[in-house]
Amino acid sequence: MSDKTALFGLDREGLTSFFAELGEKPFRAQQIMQWIHQRGEADFDCMTNLAKPLRSRLAAVAEIRPPEVLLDQQSADGTRKWLLRVDGGNAVETVFIPEQNRGTLCVSSQVGCAMACTFCATGHQGFNRNLTATEIIAQVWVANRALGHAPDGERIISNVVMMGMGEPLLNLPALLPALNIMLDDMSYGLSKRRVTVSTSGIVPAIDRLKAQCDVALAVSLHAPDDVLRDELVPINRKYPIAELLAACRRYMAGKSARSHITFEYVMLDGINDSSVQAARLAELLADVPAKINLIPFNPFPGTPYRRSSAAAVSRFQELLLNRGYIVTVRRTRGDDIDAACGQLAGQVMNRLRRLESHVEAAR
């Protein structure tokens, strides 16, 4: 830990007050944002439009410290995964998923997760700590710097989803500045529709998110009734489905007719994939602007669940399509590098220890 101000995690407002304290003009905030997030520059000495004395002052009181990349893996399907070291002997994973007309970065918000969803590897790992705003945005920084721009000048990362490790809505103080930086035209300039926060259903935080930064919302529903959801997603005991859907309706109030909430539904063989459950789900979502995303379960060591068969997934999808829903099935990506949903983290700590013992041995 250092007592210098970490500039990475400051959004426009934060940088403006930082420079005000130094007696500098507000436009310095824009300049430094562009250097850090658009040009990927971490060295004050290279920031040529800042006068030399200012650069030395910045170096004395502030820092732009990129996280150490412990692993950088590329899957056969183009998915790329970074394992980044964060303070306290931990590591987090960030995954880039290229598709035909977009590139999605999947970002982590916590080390581990306290929500203990029964089908999730991160949930099994338990909660370690919240990431700081710096650690959240640094994931975008590392990926953006590595991936750069397409030949036509388009940004390779067109979408960000907060679907890595952790429950983002239990870390709002760090999440909000990180989201602001993703959206700011002087940094990553992503549109609100292309930044998605995924939540297991922290009802009061859904309202707070809307008030402060109404990006796209994804809700991990996974069950069409409270009995089953209580079991799969334990936070449901605190915020049951009716309350969650009421929060979803509030979130969508006043938004354009084209916008919707994405409901995620992991397909677990014999648990939540029957036709009756599909019909119940269709009824449940009748008065919420919804898109449904079916996620074939990704197994991890020790899990009792199995992935639903392709036939069961198609049947479930068909039933919902017939009720007029937009239903997508998530293609499983990055399987060979354990980058698929819910596989993040499972072996992170083991891998980290292994890696450290290699480094140790090499010394």
Active site residues per annotation: 93, 341
Q: What angle do CA 326, 329, 332 make, to 5 degrees?
A: 155
Q: Which residues bind ligand SAH (CB under 6 A)?
A: 113, 117, 119-121, 163, 167, 198-200, 220, 264, 266, 295, 297-298, 341-342
Residue 173: CB partners within 8 Å, gap ≥ 6?
133
Question: Rounded to whole angstroms, how far apart are CA atoms 177 and 169?
Answer: 13
**CA torsion, ordered 292, 178, 185, 58, to nearest 10 deg:** -170
b or e along 336-349 (b: 16 or more beta carbons within 10 Å of the residue's beta carbon)? Answer: ebbbbbbbbbbebb
Closer of 19 and 297 to ligand SF4 (Cβ): 297
Q: Could you say which of ligand SF4, ligand SAH, none residue 278 binds, taking C-beta under 5 to 8 angstroms by partner kind?
A: none
State which H helix or E strand residue 70 sits in. Answer: strand 69-74
Nearest residue (CB) to ligand SF4, 120 versus 337: 120
Decide whether 130 or 298 has the Cβ nearer to ligand SAH: 298
**Least Å from the CB of residue 280 to ligand SAH:** 19
* Minimum CB distance to ligand SAH smaller for 93 or for 264: 264
Closer residue to ligand SAH in complex, CB, 163/290: 163
Tokens representing 261 are 């909430």
Q: Which does 298 bind (CB under 5 to 8 A by kind): ligand SAH, ligand SF4, none?
A: ligand SAH
Q: At 76, list the tokens.
A: 């056969």
94 binds, among ligand SF4, ligand SAH, none (CB under 5 to 8 A by kind): none
Give the integer Cα–Cα distance in Å for 308 and 78: 25
Cα angle, residue 146 at apex, residues 349 and 40 outer, rounded to 5°? 110
Binding region for ligand SF4 (CB under 6 A): 113, 115-117, 120, 122-123, 166-167, 200, 220
Q: Beta strand pairing status for 290-296 and 326-329? A: parallel
Instruction: Tell me the closest approach of the beta carbon of residue 332 to ligand SAH, in angstroms.
Output: 8
Contact 313, 321 (CB under 8 A): no
Residue written as token pair 């310095």: 28
Contacts of 27 (CB under 8 A, 6+ apart): none
- DSSP state, residue 297: -
CB of 216 to ligand SAH, least distance (A): 13
CB of residue 189 vs ligand SAH: minimum separation in angstroms?
24
Nearer to ligand SAH, 86 or 113 (CB): 113
2: left (phi over 0), alpha (psi -120 to 50) or beta: beta
Q: Give the nearest distance from C-beta 21 to ligand SAH in angstroms.
A: 35
Shortest distance (Å) from residue 53 CB to ligand SF4: 46
